[in-house]
A and B are shown apart, each in its own frame.
Chain A
Amino acid sequence: MKTSARVIYIAIVSIVAALAAVGIGAIVLTLLGADVFQTYKVILTEPLKDLFGITEVLVRAVPLILVALGIAISFRSGILNIGAEGQIQMGILAAAAVAIALPNLPKVVLVPLCLLAGAAGGAAWASIAGYLRARLGVNEILSTVMLNYIAAQLYGYLLRGPMIDPAELQTGSGTPQSVRLPKSAWIDRIIPGTRLHWGIALAVVLAALIYILMWHTTWGFKMRAAGASAKATRYAGIKVETCLLSAMVLAGAFAGLAGAVEVMAVHRRAIEGISSGYGFSGIVVALFGGLHPAGILPAAVFFGILLVGTDMTQRIMAIPANMVSVLQGAVILSIISAKMVIGDPYAREKFERRLSRIAHRRAKNEPDSGVGQ
């Protein structure tokens, strides 16, 4: 009785939250003059109708998973990394630079090398904020957000200047992009004719590794302890600052890796807009997934559907894809509210009592109706 009441409670709260998210989106859609029901139908079903849609969903899920894993590590360790966007760009630059500089290396060497370079790029960028926090107590939210701006400018400068494709200068079109990466640096596609690539396997394997790292090793124990209660952790003789720094570096490495995978598997040259907000959506995916790898995987797929679905509405229903930002916002608000309500034992107790009162009344009424028959 107790557990079933709890399940009902959680189900009701989740449904209400989902309806609220859908409702907020509906208001905006109505204001745009769109058919609300049809739009939602397109967003949620269209991407899953054919192989192209499904593979596209997974292509979007890869960077989301990688970024979200890093975010989960940092949030669990008590340091809030809002700088994944900049770290992704640093990862793209580092991976692309290595690939372009060493085109003659064999594929088995160059692909891992580029991935490592990407991770290192993101980690280095994140370590600035991590070091400032651990040594000087500089708020990491502030520093990571500011580093995002710097990274964006650096990225734009390098693609327009030192790293620009010489062909762009010759033709004079001047599109800010690097040369195409050598084939030996490409991550292969799994299904020919689609963009689905082996990065998805990498993401799933890393999710499993992160689970083991955070919940089954001494390293993860330390980092989670530092995140849960810095004071008690210090009393237990653990260096909290070291935990913060390593969590931030690891988070940056994952964001950088996401960037490297995107450039090596999808775009195959560094262009503007590769990160396309994955750094921020990754935070939502991490929170939606309960900061746990097992939750992050389905959450990333769900957000992949949202991203592809809203792209499709743009084509099919002529609704701006920016709608996805509105929906994301609504979803975040609903999730956080639902979590608070579900986590409140008083509200749950009240609900259970009400439920048992209803059940009680039913039980009373039933014998009567039996007599009537």
Chain B
Amino acid sequence: MASKDGKIKELRTEGITKRFPGIVACDSIDLSVGENEILALVGENGAGKTTLMNMLMGLYQPDEGRIFINDRPVQFKSPHDAFAAGIGMVHQHFMLVPNMTVAENVALGFAESHRPFRLDIGAVKRRIADISNRYGLPVQPDAYVWQLSVGEQQRVELIKTLCFGARFLILDEPTSALTPQETDELIALLRRMAADMSIIFISHKLAEVTALSDKVAILRRGHVVFKGSTQEQTAASLAALMTGHEVVLPRNACAAGCDEERLVVKSLTVRSDRGFPALDGLSFSVRAGEILGLAGVSGNGQRELAEALAGLRKIEKGNVSLMGTKLTNRSPREIIDAGLGYIPEDRNTEGIIPSFSVKENLILKDFASPAYARGIFIRAKAEEQNAVALQERFDIRCSSLNGAAGSLSGGNIQKVILARELARSPKVLVAVYPTRGLDMGAEEFIHTRLLELRTHGTAIFLISEELDELTNLCDRIAVIFKGKILETLAGPEATRSKLGLLMAGIKPETEEAASGPSSPTTEARS
């Protein structure tokens, strides 16, 4: 390509249209991004943002319309063409090979390391170290990707793209797994990087959009409904433009009940897949009618904790009890029967069986109970009635209850899971990243339901990275760092900055702490 090392002065789309079965994902979209500009692309799920970006990356071919770089029409037949033109993308769904190490994943697309008959993995590692030092993105080049948490994988994606020498960066919701401090750092980093490249930034978080971008484009149902300068907009005005109506996320307004402790976890020690202790003597308890939040950057033991609670990971030391019943190392069935509801992290592979119908997924935990089975026979009528009732109660939108649950949108899949779990009236609900990747409408719905459940006296343990979600919903927020609870804050005192520092492992010096180990040094200095 002629513009191999040249600058990308402008990237422009004209009338880009892409159809998918049943819908027009992108309908005649005109956008342009100038040199050193940051364009924020905003819209609900299914608005067509990712499809549009995948066309810029050569993953899809537009059905109609053209893409121009520096006023010259270009055609990307594969991501390779887009890389060659200098466009790099960090995808929302990671494009990583789980069975390879971080360095090997980078090497896959890093042509400079491909020597005849051998792979110069050393060069790749040097390059990774270089990039990760320059931008302050720590990674372990020898770790296998499957061992990494979602947040760590996102970091690998970012580094991979930078390693390839992208001069035009597309970021699909890059901050969803970062702490506020890291997000601030990323925003500062992107601002600096805009000095020598252009950036398209897709985000749900409107505060970030206003903080970072120069221009903003809002997509709704495949159409650009707004284009303009970010300066003239506020987060609230963008939210209204995005959804077409005002969205107010519900807040936990009532005082915490002081009811009995329902879920008690005492000095839990659990190993990760890599064999390291992922949880190291972790303790907490959740009371009836309380939402306890667990804040933390992913990869600090959240996954292992959730799996240990659900009975899917061996507990080495410590105890879990639910309303006095000891659940340590019990089978998932026994734990479910004891009254634990569970909204898993990966809703597509852990929460539902994608090829099963919505109906079947709604009785996944109860198909053998007398309500749905007579002897060994499943009562089709009861199954149907249950599905119809839950569809109504939880506003599950699907063309047919007999259709595969995997074909639903993320929000509706989460509603199916929520419906199943709440219908069982759990004594304790463990919710792991329940709104990750969902649009504001679905988020609002799920938050309302969680607060309702709390009023009804369920103890809720909410694992999340979304600080707004935590501060809006939780009565108390515990912060996890390297497998330990660093500190537990009461809802009102949990500010973003306090949480952020704790998530980064920095314990603020309270009065007792100040008189502790750090004071001698101050004295020594003075």
State A217–B377 Cα separation when bound (angstroms): 4
User: Which residues of chain B in 378-415 are interfacial with respect to chain A, using CB atoms and an 8 Å cutoff?
Assistant: 378, 380
- Chain A proximity mask over B1-34: 1 for CB below 8 Å, otherwise 0: 0000000000000000001111000000000000
Set B21, B332, B356, B360: member contacting A235, Cβ < 8 A: B332
A-B pairs, top 4 by smallest CB distance, nearest first, are A237-B333, A345-B21, A237-B332, A229-B353
Question: Is B355 an interface residue when CB atoms closer than 8 A count as contact?
Answer: yes
Q: Assuming A218-B367, A228-B354, what are 19 further A-B pairs, CB within 8 angstroms?
A: A217-B377, A218-B368, A218-B376, A224-B356, A229-B349, A231-B350, A232-B349, A232-B351, A232-B353, A235-B332, A235-B344, A235-B351, A237-B331, A237-B333, A237-B365, A239-B331, A345-B20, A345-B21, A353-B19
User: Which residues of chain A in 236-263 are interfacial with respect to chain B, using CB atoms and an 8 Å cutoff?
Assistant: 236-239
**Which residues of chain A come closer than 8 Å to B42, judged between CB atoms?**
none
Question: Is B336 an interface residue when CB atoms closer than 8 A count as contact?
Answer: yes
Question: Is A149 an interface residue when CB atoms closer than 8 A count as contact?
Answer: no
User: Which residues of chain A in 216-234 are interfacial with respect to chain B, using CB atoms and an 8 Å cutoff?
Assistant: 216-219, 221-222, 224-225, 228-229, 231-234
State A235–B432 Cα separation when bound (angstroms): 13
A interface, how many residues as a size bin? 20 to 34
Set B21, B344, B356, B373: member contacting A228, Cβ < 8 A: B356
Instruction: Please state if B19 and A349 are interface contacts (CB–CB under 8 Å).
Output: yes
- Chain B proximity mask over A334-372: 1 for CB below 8 Å, otherwise 0: 000000000001101100010000000000000000000
Question: Is B323 an interface residue when CB atoms closer than 8 A count as contact?
Answer: no
Indicate the member of B21, B310, B352, B365 with the most A CB atoms within 10 Å.
B21
Instruction: Please state if B377 and A216 are interface contacts (CB–CB under 8 Å).
Output: yes
Knowing A231-B349, A349-B21, A353-B19, the reply to whether A236 touches B378 (Cβ < 8 A) is no
Nearest A-chain residue to B361, judged by Cβ: A232
Knowing A221-B378, A225-B356, A228-B356, the reply to whether A234 touches B332 (Cβ < 8 A) is yes
Instruction: Please state if A218 and B349 are interface contacts (CB–CB under 8 Å).
Output: no
Question: Is B342 an interface residue when CB atoms closer than 8 A count as contact?
Answer: yes
Set B354, B364, B377: member contacting A236, Cβ < 8 A: B364
Set B350, B354, B360, B376: member contacting A219, Cβ < 8 A: B376
Instruction: Please state if B335 and A237 are interface contacts (CB–CB under 8 Å).
Output: yes
Chain B's nearest CB lies how many Å from the CB of A2? 9
* Pairs A–B under 8 Å by Cβ, sample size 12: A217-B378, A218-B373, A219-B376, A231-B349, A232-B351, A232-B353, A234-B312, A235-B312, A235-B344, A235-B351, A237-B337, A238-B333
Chain A's nearest CB lies how many Å from the CB of B274? 19
State A228–B404 Cα separation when bound (angstroms): 12
- Chain A proximity mask over B328-348: 1 for CB below 8 Å, otherwise 0: 000111011100001010100
Nearest A-chain residue to B351, judged by Cβ: A232
Instruction: Please state if A232 and B352 are interface contacts (CB–CB under 8 Å).
Output: yes
B interface with A by C-beta (< 8 Å): 19-22, 310-312, 331-333, 335-337, 342, 344, 346, 349-356, 360, 364-365, 367-368, 373, 376-378, 380
**Which residues of chain A come closer than 8 Å to B377, judged between CB atoms?**
216-218
Main secondary structure of the interface of A (DSSP, over half): helix
State A222–B346 Cα separation when bound (angstroms): 21
Chain B's nearest CB lies how many Å from the CB of A13? 16
Chain A's nearest CB lies how many Å from the CB of B371? 12
Instruction: Please state if A218 and B351 are interface contacts (CB–CB under 8 Å).
Output: no
**Which residues of chain A come closer than 8 Å to B346, judged between CB atoms?**
231
**Which residues of chain A come closer than 8 Å to B355, judged between CB atoms?**
228-229
State A216–B372 Cα separation when bound (angstroms): 11
Nearest B-chain residue to A232, judged by Cβ: B353
Nearest B-chain residue to A224, judged by Cβ: B356
Set A218, A229, A234: member contacting B378, Cβ < 8 A: A218
- Chain B proximity mask over A202-223: 1 for CB below 8 Å, otherwise 0: 0000000000000011110110
Indicate the member of A216, A225, A235, A238 with the most B CB atoms within 10 Å.
A235
**Which residues of chain B come closer than 8 Å to A233, judged between CB atoms?**
353
**Which residues of chain A come closer than 8 Å to B352, judged between CB atoms?**
229, 232
Chain B's nearest CB lies how many Å from the CB of A124? 24
**Which residues of chain A come closer than 8 Å to B21, judged between CB atoms?**
345-346, 348-349
Knowing A216-B377, A221-B367, A237-B335, the reply to whether A232 touches B19 (Cβ < 8 A) is no
Nearest A-chain residue to B407, judged by Cβ: A345
State A275–B85 Cα separation when bound (angstroms): 60
Chain B's nearest CB lies how many Å from the CB of A344? 10
Chain B's nearest CB lies how many Å from the CB of A234? 6
Nearest B-chain residue to A221, judged by Cβ: B367
Indicate the member of A231, A233, A349 with the most B CB atoms within 10 Å.
A231
Nearest A-chain residue to B311, judged by Cβ: A237
Indicate the member of A216, A229, A349 with the most B CB atoms within 10 Å.
A229
State A238–B335 Cα separation when bound (angstroms): 12
**Which residues of chain A come closer than 8 Å to B19, judged between CB atoms?**
349, 353
Nearest B-chain residue to A229, judged by Cβ: B353
Indicate the member of A219, A221, A232, A345 with the most B CB atoms within 10 Å.
A232
State A239–B22 Cα separation when bound (angstroms): 38
Knowing A346-B21, A349-B20, A349-B21, the reply to whether A232 touches B350 (Cβ < 8 A) is yes
Instruction: Please state if B353 and A346 are interface contacts (CB–CB under 8 Å).
Output: no
